[in-house]
């Protein structure tokens, strides 16, 4: 797939759009599995304590339940593909995605929060992830050119997005032929995750994606706290 998304990404990054209130979250106050986020404060100026939030996202113990290799395997990336990590946070997934698409591929790691994108830039530099580009996006628009990406991964972020059907329509348009979107989020039954009133069932996510025109499927997988909903071009 092409790199048509990159100039637009550069534009939105240059504009510095971001730090929207709806994306901001508090780190969990109660104990949970390391890396689990809990809920949003609705702050207009980003995270009240970005370092604590970032530490939780990157806690090594997260791997035990997040199973990043399983998630990325389900995404079915191939060398040369362009993959988007939407709401990428500190970039927990980008190393896995970078490896999956290889040197000819591209990873666009997008987030509304500037402090998270700064952290991703540090990770990209530290880990030498030459095929990863981090950028700030607006809350209502991923800023992706039509037909420009092959895979989209959204982990623990879909429930933060407003106007989700309209947003999903933009994601659908951004996918090229054979494109795939995965939404990974906490189940209602999970003992951890955001407050129950913020969570979305897998049925709700599927209905939202289908309303936007996706064909959907609930994937079988071993993650203990989260479901994975796949959305494909019909």
Ligand X SMILES: C[S@@+](CC[C@H](N)C(=O)[O-])C[C@H]1O[C@@H](n2cnc3c(N)ncnc32)[C@H](O)[C@@H]1O
Footprint of ligand X (CB under 6 A): 22-23, 37, 57, 86-89, 92, 111-113, 116, 137, 139, 155-157, 160-161
Q: Cβ of 15: how many Cβ atoms within 10 Å?
A: 12
- Helix residue ranges, H only, 87-195: 94-101, 114-127, 164-174
Name the residue nearer to ligand X (CB basis): 111 or 208.
Answer: 111
Name the residue nearer to ligand X (CB basis): 112 or 190.
Answer: 112
The least distance separating ligand X from the CB of residue 194, rounded to whole angstroms, comes to 8
The least distance separating ligand X from the CB of residue 146, rounded to whole angstroms, comes to 19
From the list 117, 118, 97, 92, the residue with the least C-alpha distance to 107 is 97
The least distance separating ligand X from the CB of residue 43, rounded to whole angstroms, comes to 11
Name the residue nearer to ligand X (CB basis): 75 or 178.
Answer: 75
Label the pairing between strands 226-232 and 175-186: antiparallel
Q: What is the dihedral of CA 144, 153, 227, 53, to 10 degrees?
A: -100
Q: Cβ of 146: how many Cβ atoms within 10 Å?
A: 13
- 1 token code pair: 């797939």
Name the residue nearer to ligand X (CB basis): 49 or 178.
Answer: 49
- 197 token code pair: 């009133």
Place of tokens 């304590």: 49
Task: Please check whether residue 47 is in contact with residue 115, taking contact to mean a CB–CB distance below 8 angstroms.
Answer: yes
The least distance separating ligand X from the CB of residue 59, rounded to whole angstroms, comes to 10
Name the residue nearer to ligand X (CB basis): 48 or 178.
Answer: 48
The least distance separating ligand X from the CB of residue 62, rounded to whole angstroms, comes to 8
Q: What is the distance between the alpha carbons of residues 204 and 150, in angstroms, rounded to a whole number?
A: 24
Name the residue nearer to ligand X (CB basis): 55 or 210.
Answer: 55
From the list 132, 85, 89, the residue with the least C-alpha distance to 112 is 89
Name the residue nearer to ligand X (CB basis): 63 or 203.
Answer: 63
The least distance separating ligand X from the CB of residue 164, rounded to whole angstroms, comes to 10
The least distance separating ligand X from the CB of residue 83, rounded to whole angstroms, comes to 13
DSSP-based helix, strand, coil % in the chain, nearest 5: 35, 20, 40
């Amino acid at each position: 797939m092409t790199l048509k998304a990159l100039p637009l990404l550069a534009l939105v990054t240059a504009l510095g759009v971001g730090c929207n209130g709806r994306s901001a979250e508090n780190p969990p106050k109660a104990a949970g599995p390391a890396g689990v986020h809990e809920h949003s404060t609705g702050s207009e100026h980003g995270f009240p304590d970005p370092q604590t939030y970032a530490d939780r996202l990157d806690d090594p113990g997260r791997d035990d339940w997040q199973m990043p290799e399983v998630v990325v395997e389900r995404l079915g990336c191939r060398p040369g593909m362009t993959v988007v990590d939407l709401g990428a946070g500190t970039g927990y997934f980008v190393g896995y995605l970078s490896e999956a698409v290889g040197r000819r591929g591209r990873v666009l790691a997008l987030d509304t929060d500037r402090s998270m994108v700064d952290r991703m830039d540090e990770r990209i530099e530290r880990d030498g992830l030459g095929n990863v580009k981090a950028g700030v996006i607006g809350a209502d628009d991923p800023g992706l050119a039509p037909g420009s990406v092959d895979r989209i991964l959204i982990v623990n972020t879909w429930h933060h997005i407003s106007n989700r059907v309209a947003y999903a329509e933009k994601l659908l348009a951004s996918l090229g032929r054979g494109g795939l979107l995965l939404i990974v989020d906490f189940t209602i039954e999970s003992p951890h995750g955001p407050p129950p009133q913020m969570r979305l069932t897998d049925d709700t996510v599927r209905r939202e994606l289908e309303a936007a025109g996706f064909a959907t499927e609930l994937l079988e997988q071993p993650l203990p706290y989260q479901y994975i909903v796949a959305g494909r071009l019909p």
